[in-house]
Structure 1
């Protein structure tokens, strides 16, 4: 919770240690009266003054226990989501403020457009945010493991059984359900970002703060790597039996293709790059349409299902050339795993050094898809009509602000 004062806004001033201590005494004292002996969670951000030794000493003397988690988790800072929304609205205005009074007026105008329902939804999302951060013990929430476990697991089953209990269609279904479930798992906390190309596209459209992009990408790669470890452990005996203990990248008994994409013999590097650009552009364009509330969109809670259908459509129509990686994390993370797990550096040399194409191609394609949707669809949406909130929503909001 981030407040200037329990009594309202203050004039502009510099936050110094003494002011912070005064505020904390008032703030924590008030909440101790409210909660009594019941425990409650207090969070402030990592502004240097909050981390000062004198503040930590004061907190310790006051009897406030410091939790080991989260280190710098954005998941519990609901206000950050509102700041991001406000920033997006400011950037989307036809003209930028040119003076401080203009900026103040613009901020007031855009802030008034944020609905009470948005605030209520954020408040109601806190329990699952807390549970996700607790489960991660302060680390990054597991965005990507379901994609690799179900996707690469379906490939492993088809390859290692030599087609007896798997085929291209089961692989498509595996990746489709993997993506769908990954979005359901992480959607309430992170927005369901499981693809760096999608995260970049959202950042380009200012629907996602660019400062969070490196953190999300790191989480996506770590999740893909961890998912590959799971598949390797699950099918270790089958892998050894399939190729007599050898881990091969090419040839009849190759198994590296279980984890990462490799091009078909007919595919050139240029054609492969074009393949990835087009497929990822189609993916991002469809995702933007699915989540766009000003478009027809998908029913609330059904978005992951329709994103899964999009993956399925791409798989059955564009999977022949290289297996539709369309995701740098999904391809490079497992490829790095195979490099260290026994397949060696050949995973980067195979296919004429193919490895960089499913990394660069989707990033270009994601931005292209975002630009196409923005220019051809989003720019042509009708402006929102103002409407009065229902009284019961207003009552709920007043109860929240008083509590």
Structure 2
């Protein structure tokens, strides 16, 4: 993708600055509103915790999972909803892969400030650490708040349950 848009980005921003860096990777406040790294980290933790908790809720067979192949569709809607609700503060990476790869490609192709935000602060770690911490929190919240209240899975007919 970066290669495909080389000419357009070169004309719009010949110096490869923050003006077009946000096309491929996230920035706090999307380049407009001043959001600190800590505010962006909080945003990533909360957004990813919500995502993981809801993915667990949608895919847990003991929690009335959706029928047919609606699970991926519903998860897609969840990602879109998180983007609309939580996207302004940090660009809603909510997954390290959605930011690090494009940021690395930006650096390789001339965006030498790709590891920093528009204020000059080191920023690349926020969309990596935030989702990792948020994922753990979301999983723990699902386990504590929901799993304990779900019915116990019954063993299949003809199989003896294994002792735990």
Same fold (TM over 0.5): yes
- Which has the larger helix fraction? 1
Match of 1:310 among 70, 78, 81: 78
- DSSP-derived class of the 1:347 partner: coil
Deviations 1:105-153 (A, max 9, x none): xxxxxxxxxxxxxxxxxxxxxxxxxxxxxxxxxxxxxxxxxxxxxxxxx
List alignment gaps of at least 5 residues for structure 2.
159-164
1:387 shift after superposition = 5.3
* Max Rg structure: 1
Matches of 1:305 and 1:343, distance apart in 2: 35
Instruction: Name segments (4+ residues, structure 1) moved above 4 Å.
Output: none
Match of 1:323 among 91, 107, 113: 91
- Structure 1 vs Structure 2 CA RMSD: 1.6
TM alignment of 1:3-402, pairs within 5 A: 231-243=1-13, 245-248=14-17, 250=18, 254-264=19-29, 265-344=33-112, 346-350=113-117, 351=119, 352-386=121-155, 388=157
* Larger relative contact order (CA 8 Å, sep ≥ 6): 2
1:386 shift after superposition = 4.2
- Judged with a 3 Å threshold, the aligned counterparts in structure 2 of structure 1 residues 268 and 246 are, in CA distance, closer, same or farther, namely closer
Matches of 1:246 and 1:337, distance apart in 2: 16
Matches of 1:343 and 1:287, distance apart in 2: 34
Q: Give the alignment's TM-score, normalised by structure 1.
A: 0.36
1:374 shift after superposition = 0.7
Matches of 2:105 and 2:44, distance apart in 1: 22
Q: Give the alignment's TM-score, normalised by structure 2.
A: 0.86
Deviations 1:134-188 (A, max 9, x none): xxxxxxxxxxxxxxxxxxxxxxxxxxxxxxxxxxxxxxxxxxxxxxxxxxxxxxx
Matches of 1:343 and 1:372, distance apart in 2: 39
List alignment gaps of at least 5 residues for structure 1.
1-230, 390-403
Matches of 1:383 and 1:256, distance apart in 2: 49
